[in-house]
């Protein structure tokens, strides 16, 4: 039997007392402290399986129960790590940052409240993308959701971690409008217009009066979000667009410099994502079909894979949404702009309301097939993501790609990368796919990741989210005025959570009493 992981400063007796208090407040069927339970709440894609083990888990189903949990945690000084559905694979999954924490699993909280007139929804943490999609279909509501590349996670959790989708509503955190939050001391607050009792405008206006707090609860450990308002996209009259392939790695510059202005101008309102050949190929084949040689794939093997599946070195899907006549006019502008940079191929697509709909991320359809990429090497596959924010500039994007690609080759890894467009920025998502049954490969992942963080930091680029292992490392790169932002975050943390019991270490934010746990 494995040793019981304990939080710093907590002995087994105090943890047992806290467990009994949780059982009294929630019922024993919502409290999980057996060895198998603890194994359930570990990171299945962990680079180091010895890290981030919980002491147990609890599963409250109401706001009152969440409040009770926080009061008990304060009484016994037990760190709590809340998760929505625990599907944040590649970033830590359902495991806690601090070993010995009790995971608070909110996946059983699944209420949905929909305002059909305004196109807003209030969801609880356990509502997944499939749940919301099915709800909309079952109730014949004229709205589309926006889904990430792997859609089995929580709608709320994805927005809180600033996840993205592919429609005009793809920057999910920007569509948050109002939250209900349990603070670390168990108090309950509603943000924005929700601070006004029975306000009919809670999901209509995000800011309320005075400071606006919605973004303060994103990627933070300042409170447990139990309800979130979101805006949804009205079902468009039509959709038009194209799937485009480009032949050369150097084409990235022209792609960024062409798509970027169209995005900023508003011709493209979606969130396009340029992906390299492996993003497409890794769900169609596996590495073992092509070579058994170690190290990064050669250009000859890459060319053979691309030829079989007729894919470019880079590919991007571009979509226009809205009134059909407007889309037709915009498509002419888009088509000319793309043809001017000599693509390898263009595959047009169009849809009008009433016709059968393509079931893709571009239409807000939940999907999970992209996770097949973890089978690329064979064995127990996994991945972590390295995702710096870079300027929306073709030359800088190409330079970032070339630096990163050389590092992949240096560490003997196959490169899977993408460049996702915001309105003014690019998110350079690099997937480190690995085989957990290959000890040599796994030994290299940590130094490889740290090297990429250092490379990006040298050019002023920081990650927008990261795996549990690297939260302190990434927070450290945000170093203006001797890490003034980290100091500010921790002042707020200590004010709201003086006992340091809520998600200590999340995003590199440590309470004073646990500051010794920060990675040096």
| Domain shared by 276 and 308, yes or no | yes
Q: At 226, which CATH number?
A: 3.30.465.10
Same domain, 498 and 454: no
Measured distance CA(70)–CA(326) in Å, rounded: 52
Catalytic residues, which ones? 91, 464-465
The answer to whether residue 325 sits within a structural domain is yes
Residue 482 burial (CB count, 10 A)? 7
Cα–Cα dist 384/336, whole Å: 37
Report the SS3 class of residue 12: helix
Q: Are 502 and 425 in contact (CB under 8 A)?
A: no
485/478 Cα distance (integer angstroms): 8
Decide: 107 and 218 in contact? Cβ < 8 Å.
no
CATH of the domain at 263: 3.40.462.10
Asked if residue 145 and residue 223 are part of one domain, the reply reads yes
Say if 27 falls within a structural domain: yes
For 299, how many CA atoms within 13 A lie in the half-sphere containing its CB?
4
User: Which residues does 283 contact at the CB level (< 8 Å), separation at least 6?
Assistant: 369, 370, 372, 373
Give the Å distances, CA to CA, from 113 to 95, 121, 127, 138: 29, 6, 11, 14
Interatomic CA distance for residues 70 and 405, integer angstroms: 45
Domain that holds residue 338: 238-467
Beta-ladder partners of 238: 322, 352
Q: Domain check: are 443 and 503 in the same one?
A: no
Q: Decide the pairing of beta strands 273-276 and 416-421.
A: antiparallel
Chain centroid, CA 20 distance in Å = 34
pLDDT band per the 50, 70, 90 thresholds, residue 272: very high
Domain-terminating residue out of 234, 267, 294: 234
CA angle in degrees (0–180, nearest 5) for 470-474-479? 150
Residue 520's pLDDT band (boundaries 50, 70, 90)?
A: confident
| Across 55-83, average pLDDT | 98
At residue 49 the predicted structure's pLDDT band, cuts being 50, 70 and 90, is: very high
The tens digit of pLDDT for each residue in 5-47 reads 999 999 999 999 999 999 999 999 999 999 999 999 999 999 9
Q: Does the structure show a pLDDT above 60 at 406? A: yes
Whether 491 contacts 507, CB under 8 Å? no
What is the model's pTM?
0.96
- Residue 6 to residue 298: CA distance in whole angstroms: 47
Q: What is the pLDDT of residue 371?
A: 87
Q: What is the DSSP letter of 94?
A: T
Asked whether residue 4 is domain-assigned, the answer is no
Q: Are residues 446 and 503 in the same domain?
A: no
Q: What is the DSSP track for 282-322? A: TTT--GGGT----SSPPHHHHHHHHHHHT--SEEEEEEEEE
The arithmetic mean of pLDDT across residues 347-367, rounded, is: 94
Where is the domain boundary, 209, 234, 259? 234
- pLDDT recorded at residue 1: 52
Q: What distance in Å separates the CA atoms of residue 242 and residue 269, rounded to the nearest whole number?
A: 14
């Amino acid at each position: 039997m494995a040793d019981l992981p304990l939080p710093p400063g907590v002995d087994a007796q105090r943890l047992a007392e806290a467990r009994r208090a949780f059982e009294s407040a929630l019922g024993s069927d919502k409290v999980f402290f057996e060895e198998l339970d603890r194994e359930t709440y570990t990171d299945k894609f962990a680079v180091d399986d010895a890290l981030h083990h919980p002491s147990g888990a609890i599963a409250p189903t109401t706001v009152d129960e969440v409040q009770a949990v926080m009061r008990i945690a304060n009484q016994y000084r037990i760190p709590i790590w809340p998760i929505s559905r625990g599907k944040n694979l590649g970033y830590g999954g359902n495991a806690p940052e601090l070993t010995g924490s009790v995971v608070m699993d909110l996946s059983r909280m699944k209420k949905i409240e929909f305002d059909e007139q305004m196109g807003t929804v209030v969801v609880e943490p356990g509502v997944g993308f499939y749940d919301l999609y099915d709800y909309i279909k079952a109730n014949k509501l004229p709205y589309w959701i926006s889904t990430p590349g792997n859609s089995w996670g929580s709608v709320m959790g994805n927005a809180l971690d600033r996840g993205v989708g592919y429609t005009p509503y793809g920057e999910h955190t920007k569509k948050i409008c109002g939250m209900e939050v349990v603070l670390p001391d168990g108090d309950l607050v509603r943000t924005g217009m929700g601070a006004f009792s029975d306000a009919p405008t809670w999901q209509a206006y995000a800011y309320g009066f005075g400071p606006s707090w919605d973004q303060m609860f994103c990627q933070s450990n300042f409170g447990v979000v139990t309800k979130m308002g979101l805006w949804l996209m009205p079902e468009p009259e039509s959709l038009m667009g194209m799937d485009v392939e480009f032949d050369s790695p150097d084409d990235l510059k022209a792609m960024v410099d062409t798509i970027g202005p169209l995005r900023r101008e508003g011709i493209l309102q979606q969130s396009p994502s340029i992906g390299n050949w492996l993003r497409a190929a890794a769900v169609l084949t596996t590495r073992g079909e092509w070579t058994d040689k170690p190290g990064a794939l050669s250009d000859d093997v890459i060319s053979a894979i691309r030829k079989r599946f007729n894919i470019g070195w880079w590919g991007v899907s571009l979509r226009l949404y809205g009134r059909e006549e407007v889309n037709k006019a915009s498509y002419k502008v888009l088509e000319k702009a793309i043809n001017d940079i000599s693509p390898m191929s263009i595959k047009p697509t169009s849809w009008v309301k009433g016709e059968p709909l393509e079931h893709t991320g571009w239409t807000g359809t939940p999907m999970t097939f992209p996770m097949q990429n973890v089978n690329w090497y064979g064995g127990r596959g996994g991945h972590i993501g390295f995702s710096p924010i870079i300027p929306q500039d073709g030359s800088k994007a190409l330079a970032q790609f070339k630096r990163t690609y050389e590092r992949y080759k240096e560490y003997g890894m196959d490169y899977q990368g993408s460049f996702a467009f915001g309105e003014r920025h690019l998110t350079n998502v690099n997937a480190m796919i690995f085989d957990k049954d290959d000890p040599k490969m796994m030994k290299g992942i940590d130094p490889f990741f740290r090297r990429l963080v250092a490379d990006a930091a040298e050019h002023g680029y920081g990650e927008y989210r990261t795996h549990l292992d690297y939260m302190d490392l990434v927070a450290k790169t945000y170093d203006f005025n001797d890490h003034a932002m980290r100091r500010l975050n921790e002042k707020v943390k200590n004010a709201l959570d003086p006992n340091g019991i809520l998600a200590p270490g999340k995003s590199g934010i440590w309470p004073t009493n646990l500051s010794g746990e920060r990675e040096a």
